[in-house]
Amino acid sequence: MNEQYTVAMSSIIDRFSLETFYLPTLPEQIFVSCAGVNRPGLPLVGFYDHFEPERLQIIGKVEHLYLKQLPDAERHARLEDLFRAKPVGIIVTTSLDISDEMLALAEEYAVPVLRTSVKTSEFMAALIAYLNVELGPRITRHGVFIEVYGEGILLLGDSGIGKSETAIELIKRGHRLIADDAVEIKRVSDTTLVGRAPSLIRHYVELRGIGIVDVRRLFGMGAVKETEKIDLVITMELWQQGKMYDRLGLEEHYTDILGIRVPTIVVPVSPGRNLSVVIEVAAMNARQKRMGYNTPEEFNKRLMESLGSV
């Protein structure tokens, strides 16, 4: 069974600087569990067959003007039907007026009423993006997550393989740490995974023989980042004599994380290998592939053309 995640109304209020006109209880005790939002056009004309009260309801200029032109008794009835449906919250956009009638119904049916000065479409887009991140399915993986040349690189491998030491070397070379040891991964869309560190260990790295170090204090704010999209998984493993490692890069490998396939490469670890440089090249190569240029395919094409001309 999928775990149900929630976000407190207080977090939404803080994130979007919302004005609070009525709250039935403390905002920390009101929780939103649905990333979808709704403009209640159809409910305001009486259609509630598929109404989802767990969605935040957004009232913009269209809804406001529609209600305004209704006769008083009909307007009250339509608003009362909406509040009686007990939505998790109603947000009025564009600094539109909130009537005493609406506030009285909010108090009667214990429905939060808030307001923003932002235009409806702009606000809805930002709110949906925020809720997708906060409410997305998630897992925690053991590994190191670092940004290299703008690419989110998730380093996986057995404990003691050298992931944290490699991360420190990359940080010294100007790249940024997101998480060490534990990486919280959220699926924020059908194609995107975002990783971050648990709050308790954020900005810390464990180095065997030294202990816990604070990357932000040692290397500065520019050496850390809160979140990043996962673009590439690099699995580090001890070099196995006789194992055939990919030398051309023609085969594409993927790791499935929360139903999304992430490009993956295996990097063998052995004395003398400069892993930080290898990972930098892997990051640049992954970015180049995403921009449409695949070096192995281009090389193979040239090779076939060369053989064909012999």
Residues of the chain within CATH 3.40.1390.20 domain(s) are: 7-134
Q: Which amino acid is it at 236?
A: M
Tell me, yes or no, if 163 is annotated catalytic. Answer: yes
For CA atoms 280, 285, 286, 292, give the dihedral sign: positive
CB distance 203 to 177 below 8 Å? yes
- Catalytic member of 163, 187, 203, 225: 163
What CATH number does the domain located at 137-299 have? Answer: 3.40.50.300
Which among 141, 181, 216, 287 is annotated as catalytic? 181
* Euclidean distance between CA atoms 164 and 3, whole angstroms: 31
What's the mean per-residue pLDDT of the chain? Answer: 91
The yes-or-no answer on residue 247 being catalytic is yes
Catalytic option among 50, 72, 97, 247: 247
The answer to whether residues 178 and 146 touch, using CB atoms and an 8 Å cutoff, is yes
| Candidate list 142, 172, 217, 302, residue with the active-site label | 142
Query: Which range has highest mean pLDDT (116-125, 133-142, 236-245, 297-306)?
Result: 116-125
Residue 109: both structure tokens together: 């049916």
User: According to CATH, where is 3.40.50.300 located in the chain?
Assistant: 137-299
pLDDT of residue 310: 53
Q: C-alpha distances in angstroms, 58 versus 50, 55, 63, 76, 81?
A: 16, 9, 9, 18, 16
Looking at 1.10.645.10, 3.40.1390.20, 3.40.50.10440, 3.90.78.10, the CATH number of the domain 7-134 comes to 3.40.1390.20
Does 181 qualify as catalytic in the annotation?
Answer: yes
Residue found by looking up tokens 């009525």 in the block: 22
Instruction: Look up the pTM and report it.
Output: 0.75
Could you report the per-residue pLDDT of 110-132, keeping only the tens digit for each?
A: 999 999 999 999 999 999 999 98
